[in-house]
Amino acid sequence: MAGRIQRKNMLKPGLDLNETAQFIVVTISGCSALYASTHDPRIWNFILAQLNWFMNGLKKTRKD
């Protein structure tokens, strides 16, 4: 999938996709641990909103 996205030129240049994927996995893992100890659904809502913001920041814009 990453290759297809790169071929379509959808991401900002110079991104390290392995590092980006690792960040996402670590974020979700940390969120899972925090949720398991609190059972507060607001944790998932907050993390998903933050990941959405992060992912949108990776997209190439007209200025890039």
CA atoms within 13 A on the CB side of 36: 6
Q: What is the pLDDT of residues 48-62, one digit of tens each?
A: 999 999 999 988 776
Q: Cβ neighbours of residue 5 under 8 Å, at least 6 residues apart?
A: 11
What gap in Å lies between CA 18 and CA 20, rounded to an integer?
5
Q: What is the pTM of this model?
A: 0.73
Q: pLDDT at position 15, please?
A: 85
CA atoms within 13 A on the CB side of 37: 5
pLDDT at 3 over 90: no
Q: Given pLDDT bands bounded at 50, 70 and 90, which one contains residue 5?
A: low
Q: What is the pLDDT of residues 13-48, one digit of tens each?
A: 888 889 999 999 999 999 999 999 999 999 999 999
